[in-house]
Structure 1
Amino acid sequence: MKLLHMSDSHIGGTVTAGTGRGRGHNRYQDFAAVLAEVVGIAEEAQPDLILHTGDLFDRQVPSPEDFALGMSAMVELSAIAPTVVIRGNHDSPLLFQALDGMAAFNSRNGVPALRFVAQARPSANGGILDYPARDGQRIRLAALPFVHRNRAVEGFDRPDSATLAFADYLRGIQADLAAGLRDGYAPTRDVLIFAAHMYVESALPDYSERRLDISSDYASATTALPAVSYAALGHIHKPQAISRPGLPARYAGSLLQMDFGEITDGQPEQKSVVIIDANPGRPPKIDIRLLRKGRKLITFTGGLDALARQAPLIGDAFVKAYIDVPESSPGLAAAVTELLPGATLVEVQPRLPGWDEQRELPELDHAAAPEPDLPDLFAEYLVTTETIPEHAELLRATFTELLTQSRPDFNLVTDPVETLLRTAVASSKPSTIAP
Structure 2
Amino acid sequence: MAPEPIRVLHFADLHIGMEAHGQIDPQTGLNRRVVDFLYAFDRIVDYAIEHEADLILFCGDAFKNRDPSPTYLREFAARLRRLLEAGLPVFLLVGNHDLPGMEKRATPLDVFGEFRPLLRGGEGLIVGRREDVHRIDTRRGPLQVIGMPFPVRSRLLKDETWRNLSPEELDHQLRETLHAVLQHLLETKIDPALPTIVAGHFSIEGAAYGSERQVMIGYDVVLPPSMFRHPAIDYVALGHIHKHQALGDGAPPIVYSGSVERVDFSEEDEPKGFCWVEVRRGDARWRFVELPARRFFTLSLDLRQAADPEMTAIAEIRRQADRIREAVVRARVRIRPEQAERLREARLREELEKAGAFSVSSLHIEREESVRSRISLTEMEHLTPLDLLARYLDSRDPPPDPGRRERLLRLAEQLMREEEP
Q: Which residue of 2 aligns with 1:272?
A: 273
Corresponding position of 2:257: 252
- Are the counterparts in 2 of residues 10 and 55 from structure 1 also a CA contact under 8 Å? yes
Instruction: Tell me, in whole angstroms, the C-alpha distance in 1 between the residues paired with 2:74 and 2:215.
Output: 28
Aligned to 1:37: 43
1:348–1:327: structure 2 CA closer, same or farther, 3 Å change rule? same
Aligned counterpart for 2:318 among listed residues 308, 328, 348: 308
CA RMSD across the alignment: 3.0
Residue identity opposite 1:223 in structure 2: S
Q: How many residues align?
A: 332
Residues 336 and 49 (structure 1 numbering): CA distance in 2 closer, same or farther, change over 3 Å?
Answer: same
- Does 2:201 align with 1:197? yes
Distance 1:355 1:141 in 2: 60
CA gap 1:92/1:71 in 2 versus in 1, 3 angstroms: farther
TM-score, normalising length: structure 1: 0.69
Q: Structure 2: how far apart are the matches of 1:89 and 1:357? A: 49
Q: Give the equivalent residue in structure 1 for 2:226.
A: 223
Instruction: Specify whether residues 117 and 313 from structure 1 end up closer, same or farther in structure 2 by C-alpha distance, changes over 3 A only.
Output: same
Q: Distance in 2 between matches of 1:171 and 1:260?
A: 36
- For residues 225-244 of structure 1, the aligned pairs below 5 Å read 225=228, 227=230, 228-243=233-248
How far is the alpha carbon of 1:179 from its aligned partner?
A: 3.6
Amino acid at match of 2:51: A
Q: One-letter code of the match for 2:90?
A: T
- Structure with larger Rg: 2
Q: Does 1:55 align with 2:61?
A: yes
Change (3 A) 1:348 1:301: same
After TM superposition, the structure 1 stretch with the greater mean CA deviation from structure 2, 171-180 or 303-312, is 171-180
Give the SS at the match of 1:347: strand
Secondary structure in structure 2 of the residue aligned to 1:233: strand
**1:46 counterpart residue number:** 52
Q: Is the 8 A contact 2:13 2:240 kept in 1?
A: yes
Question: Cα gap change, 1:60/1:357 in structure 2, threshold over 3 Å: closer, same or farther?
Answer: farther
Q: Give the aligned residue type for 1:198.
A: F
Q: What does residue 346 of structure 1 align with? A: 361
- In 1: Cα distance, 2:341 partner to 2:97 partner: 42
Offset at residue 39 of structure 1 (A): 0.9
Tell me if the contact between 1:8 and 1:254 (Cα under 8 Å) persists in the aligned partners.
Answer: yes
Residue 340 (structure 2) aligns with: 327
* 3-state SS of paired residue (2:288): strand
The whole-number CA distance in structure 2 between the counterparts of 1:211 and 1:332 is 30
Q: CA deviation at 1:158?
A: 5.3
Contact 1:8 1:253 in 2 (8 A): yes
Question: In 2, Cα distance between the equivalents of 1:179 and 1:48?
Answer: 27
Deviation at 1:288, TM superposition (A): 1.0
Deviation track 1:108-146 (CA, whole Å, cap 9, x = no partner) reads 2x242222223x24xxxxx110011344x3211111111
Deviation, structure 1 residue 210: 4.1
Q: What does 1:100-139 align with in structure 2 at a 5 Å threshold?
A: 100-108=112-120, 110-118=121-129, 120-121=130-131, 127-135=132-140, 137-139=141-143
SS at match of 2:332: strand
> 5+ unaligned residues in a row in structure 1: which ranges?
18-24, 122-126, 359-435
- The structural deviation recorded for 1:102 is 1.7
Map 1:16-35 onto structure 2 (within 5 A): 26-35=32-41
**Equivalent residue, structure 1, for 2:379:** none
Match of residue 426 from structure 1: none
Percentage identity across paired residues of the two chains: 25
Residues 112 and 329 (structure 1), Cα distance of their counterparts in 2 relative to 1, 3 Å cut: farther
Query: How much does 1:59 deviate?
Result: 1.1
The 1-side partners of 2:83 and 2:137 are apart by: 17
What do residues 255-305 of structure 1 show as CA deviations (whole Å, max 9, x unaligned)? 111111113xxxx311010010011122x111211101x422222111433
Displacement after TM superposition at 1:74 (Å) = 2.2
For 1:304, what is the secondary structure of its paired residue? helix
Verify the 8 A CA contact 1:241 1:251 in the aligned structure 2: yes
Q: Relative to 1, partners in 2 of residues 1:192 and 1:333: Cα closer, same or farther, differing over 3 Å?
A: same
Separation in 1, partners of 2:63, 2:369: 40
The amino acid across from 2:323 in the alignment is: L
CA distance in 2, matches of 1:44, 1:32: 18
Between stretches 237-246 and 202-211, larger displacement belongs to 202-211
Q: Which residue of 2 aligns with 1:420?
A: none
Displacement, 1:180?
2.1
1:180 aligns with 2:185: yes
Q: Is the 8 A contact 1:174 1:226 kept in 2?
A: no
1:11-45 residue CA offsets vs partner (Å, 9 max, x unmatched):
0012259xxxxxxx751221221111111111122
